[in-house]
């Protein structure tokens, strides 16, 4: 009888510890991602500040996005993915959006938009319910988890920022030194 009670208590204790450990790992994932996003914001600002304003419309090829369009596209995608897919808010529509269009915006205004977007996304992710990381959603016909959307966000920023680095090089500018963990 006593052995049975000890086994039951030990089993329950192990179960609770495993569940706690699992939730702690999920919180660590989000915390690590937020740190990465904050560092990414800092590095993107260095890149955006380096390009002279008169070169913001520079395109590598006629069909490419300009430096400014890459910058604002990063903002639009960060907003769209974080606010609608992760936050459950109504999605912005590219065709009618005016916030992330480059038209009639100078360099300073674009940087304000980008930084506001990062701050909103970071605030939303800090409040994200980690129990929802494995929730599935339809992502352009693909079955994806919210955890995968987190990772996609990082990849997308890196992809377009990489294009911006090429813009700098082709304009004779040496990009800022790579910053780890962003």
| Neighbouring residues of 125: CB distance < 8 A, sequence distance ≥ 6 | 30, 33, 34, 37, 82, 86, 150
Phi/psi zone of residue 88: left (φ > 0), alpha (ψ -120 to 50 degrees), beta? Answer: left
Quote the pLDDT of residue 41: 97
Quote the pLDDT of residue 43: 96
Residues of the chain with pLDDT under 50: 21-23
Alpha helices in 65-142 (DSSP H): 67-79, 107-126
Quote the pLDDT of residue 94: 81
Rounded (10°) angle between helices 2-50 and 146-170? 20
Q: What tens digit of pLDDT does each residue of 72-90 get?
A: 999 999 999 999 899 888 8
CATH superfamily, domain 27-170, is dinb family like domain (1.20.120.450)
User: What are the extents of the domains in the chain?
Assistant: 27-170
């Amino acid at each position: 009888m006593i052995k049975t009670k000890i086994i039951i208590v030990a089993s329950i204790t192990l179960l609770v510890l495993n569940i706690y450990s699992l939730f702690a790992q999920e919180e660590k994932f989000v915390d690590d991602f937020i740190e990465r996003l904050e560092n990414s914001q800092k590095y993107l600002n260095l890149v955006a500040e380096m390009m002279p304003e008169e070169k913001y419309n520079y395109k590598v090829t006629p069909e490419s996005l300009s430096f400014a369009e890459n910058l604002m596209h990063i903002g639009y995608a960060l907003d769209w993915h974080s606010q609608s897919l992760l936050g459950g808010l109504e999605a912005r529509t590219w065709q009618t959006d005016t916030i992330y269009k480059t038209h009639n915006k100078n360099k300073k205004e674009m940087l304000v938009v980008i930084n506001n977007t990062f701050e909103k996304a970071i605030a939303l992710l800090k409040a994200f319910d980690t129990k929802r990381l494995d929730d599935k959603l339809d992502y352009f016909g693909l079955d994806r988890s919210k955890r995968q959307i987190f990772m996609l966000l990082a990849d997308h920023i890196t992809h377009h920022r990489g294009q911006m680095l090429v813009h700098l090089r082709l304009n004779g500018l040496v990009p800022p030194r790579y910053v780890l963990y962003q």
